[in-house]
């Protein structure tokens, strides 16, 4: 995470400074609990967008900070996205299958535990052949600007000549093979046990940043308030997060969670560790300086 470069300096300074900011809680986003969340019904899609199937769908907002975390569910349907998608949308499939076919004819199929990013401006068809549930992350300002009209319009027309964006696959097997770039070591006092060696790779930067972060086994003291909301999906290894109040949560491969802005505590990676993260871009850049 490039974010770590400036965050490293913030941590180093704050290690010597008393904190008065209240602790925040980690939000678990495990598949089994997400599958049982009751949702609120949404208005039907307009007839011009519903190609086939039924227009019965719902959602629940789980978190709204720098980005919005939402569960969305639909009965089988094919939706035509005939105007540019209004924002970057990170998707984690919880149940069912979705087939995305762009206006250029690129066809991608995703099932449970698959992840992808629909870029702002994308157009095509969104086919859910079976009951479908997903976890989505959208930058809050873009969500608030577009969500009130999303059932009737998907943003403005794309400028003539602008290239058609394509959906970015974020499949775990491919991500595990990615090569990361080494980051500078954490400053003295941050690593309280283990090896001071970590790396990252930025996969996408638009309204949100999607990145890979990997580290050797280590335990870190997060004494400076976490600089932004960060969605995390564990791809390899395990992480134990212990807040300042002593509450501890353990996450392993396939688990998701949200580290809220302002969180402090210890971040323990007892073995080789790899995660995929999503951060709102303005907050990422601000932390980068």
Q: What is the mean pLDDT of residues 157-163?
A: 49
The pLDDT confidence band at residue 163, using thresholds 50, 70 and 90, is low
Tokens read off for 31: 């598949």
On the question of pLDDT at 22 being above 90, the answer is no
In contact, 14 and 244? CB cutoff 8 Å: no
Q: What is the mean pLDDT of residues 195-211?
A: 96
On the question of pLDDT at 11 being above 60, the answer is no
What's the first-to-final CA gap in the chain, in angstroms? Answer: 14
Q: Write out the DSSP string of 255-276.
A: -EEEE-TT--EEEEE-S-EEEE
Give the rounded percent of residues in the chain with a pLDDT score beyond 90: 77
Q: Could you tell me whether strands 107-110 and 124-128 are parallel, antiparallel, or unpaired per DSSP bridges?
A: unpaired
**Distance (Å) of CA 119 to CA 38, 95, 138, 204, 267:** 28, 22, 11, 9, 31
Backbone angles phi, psi at 149, to 5 degrees: -120, 10
On the question of pLDDT at 72 being above 60, the answer is yes
On the question of pLDDT at 233 being above 90, the answer is yes
pLDDT digits (tens, 9 = 90+) for 139-158: 999 998 875 334 343 333 44
- Name residue 134's beta-bridge partners: 72, 93
* Angstrom distance (rounded) from CA 12 to CA 131: 49
pLDDT value for 263: 95
Say which range, 4-18, 112-126, 212-226, 269-283, has the weakest mean pLDDT: 4-18
- Name residue 212's beta-bridge partners: 201, 276
Instruction: List the alpha helices (DSSP H) in the chain.
Output: 3-14, 31-34, 140-146, 172-175, 281-288
3-14 and 281-288 helices cross at what angle (nearest 10)? 60
Q: Structural domains in the chain? A: 3-29+175-288 (2.60.120.10), 32-169 (2.60.120.10)
On the question of pLDDT at 285 being above 70, the answer is yes
Q: Write out the DSSP string of 198-231.
A: EEEEEEEESSEEEEEEEE-SEEEEE-SPPSS-EE
The pLDDT confidence band at residue 165, using thresholds 50, 70 and 90, is confident
**41-47 contacts at long range (C-beta below 8 A, 24 or more positions apart):** 42/151, 43/151, 44/151, 45/77, 45/79, 45/151, 46/151, 46/152
Say which range, 164-173, 214-223, 248-257, has the weakest mean pLDDT: 164-173
Report the predicted TM-score, pTM, of the whole model to 2 decimal places: 0.86
Backbone angles phi, psi at 232, to 5 degrees: -125, 135
On the question of pLDDT at 210 being above 70, the answer is yes
Q: What is the mean pLDDT of residues 8-24?
A: 34
In contact, 244 and 264? CB cutoff 8 Å: yes
pLDDT value for 167: 93
Q: Could you tell me whether strands 67-74 and 57-64 are parallel, antiparallel, or unpaired per DSSP bridges?
A: antiparallel
Say which range, 76-80, 150-154, 237-241, 264-268, has the weakest mean pLDDT: 150-154
On the question of pLDDT at 2 being above 50, the answer is no
pLDDT value for 27: 95
């Amino acid at each position: 995470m490039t974010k770590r470069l400036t965050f490293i300096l913030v941590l180093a300074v704050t290690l010597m400074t008393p904190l008065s900011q209240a602790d925040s809680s980690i939000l678990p986003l495990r598949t089994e609990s997400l599958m049982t969340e009751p949702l609120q019904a949404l208005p039907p899609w307009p007839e011009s967008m519903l190609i086939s199937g039924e227009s019965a769908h719902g959602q629940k907002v789980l978190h709204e900070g720098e980005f919005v975390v939402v569960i969305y569910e639909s009965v089988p349907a094919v939706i035509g996205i005939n105007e540019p998608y209004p924002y970057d949308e990170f998707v984690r499939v919880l149940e069912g299958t979705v087939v995305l076919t762009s206006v250029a004819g690129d066809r991608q199929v995703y099932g449970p535990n698959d992840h992808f990013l629909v870029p702002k401006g994308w157009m095509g068809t969104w086919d859910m052949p079976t009951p479908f549930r997903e976890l989505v992350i959208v930058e809050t300002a873009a969500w608030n600007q577009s969500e009130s009209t999303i059932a009737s319009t998907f943003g403005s027309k794309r400028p003539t000549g602008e290239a058609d964006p394509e959906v970015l696959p974020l499949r775990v097997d491919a991500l595990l093979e990615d090569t990361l770039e080494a980051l500078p070591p954490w400053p003295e006092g941050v690593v309280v046990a283990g090896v001071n060696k970590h790396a990252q790779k930025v996969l996408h930067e638009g309204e949100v940043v999607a990145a890979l972060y990997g580290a050797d086994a280590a335990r870190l003291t997060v004494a400076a308030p976490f600089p932004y909301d960060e969605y995390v999906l564990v791809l390899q290894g395990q992480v134990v997060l212990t807040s300042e109040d002593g509450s501890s949560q353990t996450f392993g491969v396939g688990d998701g969670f949200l580290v809220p802005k302002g969180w402090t505590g210890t971040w323990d990676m007892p073995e080789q560790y790899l995660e995929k993260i999503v951060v709102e871009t303005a907050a990422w850049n601000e932390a980068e300086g």
